[in-house]
Copies of this chain bind each other. A is one copy, B any other.
Amino acid sequence: MLATAFTTAGDLGNGRSVLDAAAPAARDPLDDRLARAAPRTIEAREHIFCEGDRATHVYRVEVGHLCIYRMMSDGRRQVVDFAYPGDIIGLGALGEHGESAQAMERTVVRGMPLATLRELAQTDHRLGMKLYEALSRELMAARELLFTVSQRTATERVAAFLLALSRRAVRRGESATEIVLPMTRMDIADFLGLTIETVSRTLTRLRTDHVIDLEQCILVTICNPAALAELAQSSGQVGRRG
């Protein structure tokens, strides 16, 4: 098993963070239902649901990007995932949502009531299994992120993040080296457990080292994928734990 690591970007290593659009095209009752559901548009910075809200629907992202996060009473924030088109969010909520889902830009989703989902799952065992597997993947992704945040240095985290985004882009049929960041530095920082300054500095250093190229703060070009992968793994440090 590879140790790479993120839910958002290719879910670091293995499992996907959420049911992914790139899944096999077998007729899926969930997809069928969602395709018939009315689309709902969310403006930038608006929330689909918030931590503590009663969970009523699951949603599939059609257009745009979402940021899934938790807040602490004193304002500290932990981003747990970024949702891309095709991703399904709101799974795993028991009664109420454990995190908030905010649109990073104008975003379109389709929703399905939980009651309908439960009904479908009871008549179709394969769907029940799919939901279970989706949740398992989210759990794997969460632990992968835990690992990254807990054990890796700032450089390792940022490198792993970019690689994860790259992998995710490939799965979506996009370029592996030209990556558009839909999220702000603040979002990245709160995802990786760093500050915006550290994220910014780390990206700058990667640029001066010719590992990546940066344009308009939003477009990252991976110039040296091998070096980036190397940095993501151990960044040269050894330490007693190695």
Q: Which residues of A contact B (CB under 8 A)?
A: 1, 3, 14-15, 51-52, 70, 72-78, 80, 92-94, 96, 98-99, 121-122, 125, 128, 131-133, 135-140, 142-143, 145-147, 149-151, 193, 233-234, 238, 241-242
- Residues of chain B contacted by A132 (CB below 8 angstroms): 128, 131-132, 135
- Residues of chain B contacted by A136 (CB below 8 angstroms): 92-94, 135
The majority secondary structure among interface residues of chain A is: mixed
Give the residue of B72, B122, B128 whose beta carbon is less than 8 angstroms from that of A147: B72
- Residues of chain B contacted by A70 (CB below 8 angstroms): 3, 143, 147
Give the residue of B3, B78, B96, B238 whose beta carbon is less than 8 angstroms from that of A146: B78
Q: Do the beta carbons of A15 and B76 come within 8 Å of each other?
A: no
Nearest CB in chain B to that of A97: its residue: B1
A133 CA to B55 CA, complexed, in Å: 14
With A128-B128, A150-B193, A151-B78 in contact, is A143–B3 under 8 Å at CB?
Answer: no
- Residues of chain B contacted by A77 (CB below 8 angstroms): 151, 241
- Residues of chain B contacted by A98 (CB below 8 angstroms): 1, 14, 140, 143
A76 CA to B44 CA, complexed, in Å: 39
Q: Do the beta carbons of A139 and B138 come within 8 Å of each other?
A: yes
Give the residue of B74, B142, B233 whose beta carbon is less than 8 angstroms from that of A73: B233
Q: Do the beta carbons of B1 and A150 come within 8 Å of each other?
A: no
Q: Do the beta carbons of B242 and A135 come within 8 Å of each other?
A: no
- Residues of chain B contacted by A140 (CB below 8 angstroms): 92, 94, 98
Interface core residue of A96, A98, A133, A139 (most chain B CB under 10 Å) = A139
A180 CA to B194 CA, complexed, in Å: 34
Q: Do the beta carbons of B241 and A75 come within 8 Å of each other?
A: yes
- Residues of chain B contacted by A242 (CB below 8 angstroms): 74-76
